[in-house]
Amino acid sequence: MMIRPSSQLEFMLLPSRTLFWPSRNILVVADLHLGRIVPRYPKMVEGVKQALQRLSGALEHTQANRLLFLGDLFHMRNNYHHDVVHVFEQWRMRYSTVEMLLIRGNHERAMGDPPAQLQLTCMDPGYHESGVTFLHEPRQMSQFTMCAHLHPCLLVPTNRALATTVPCFVWNEDYLYMPAFEDTIPGRVVSRRFDEQYACIHNQMVVTYP
Q: Is 101 within the bounds of a domain?
A: yes
Q: Is 137 within the bounds of a domain?
A: yes
Q: Is 128 within the bounds of a domain?
A: yes
Please state, in angstroms and rounded to a whole number, the distance separating the CA atoms of residues 23 and 197: 22
Q: Tell me how crowded residue 25 is: count the other CB atoms within 10 A of its CB.
A: 13
Angle subtended at Cα 119 by Cα 116 and Cα 120, rounded to the nearest 5 degrees: 95
Q: Is 29 within the bounds of a domain?
A: yes
Q: Read off the pLDDT band of 45 (50, 70, 90).
A: confident
Please state, in angstroms and rounded to a whole number, the distance separating the CA atoms of residues 141 and 136: 13
Reported as a single tens digit per residue, the pLDDT across 91-134 is 999 999 999 999 999 888 888 999 999 999 999 999 999 999 99
Question: What range defines the domain where residue 68 resides?
Answer: 2-148
Whether the predicted pLDDT of 177 surpasses 60: yes
What pairs with residue 133 in β-bridges? Answer: 128, 145
DSSP assignment of 16-28: TTEEEETTTTEEE
Residue positions counted in the chain: 210
Q: Is 7 within the bounds of a domain?
A: yes
- What is the value of pTM for the model shown? 0.92
Whether the predicted pLDDT of 43 surpasses 90: no
Total tally of structural domains belonging to the chain: 1
Q: Is 192 within the bounds of a domain?
A: no
What pLDDT score was predicted for residue 187? 83
Q: Is 35 within the bounds of a domain?
A: yes
Q: Tell me how crowded residue 41 is: count the other CB atoms within 10 A of its CB.
A: 16
Q: Is 25 within the bounds of a domain?
A: yes
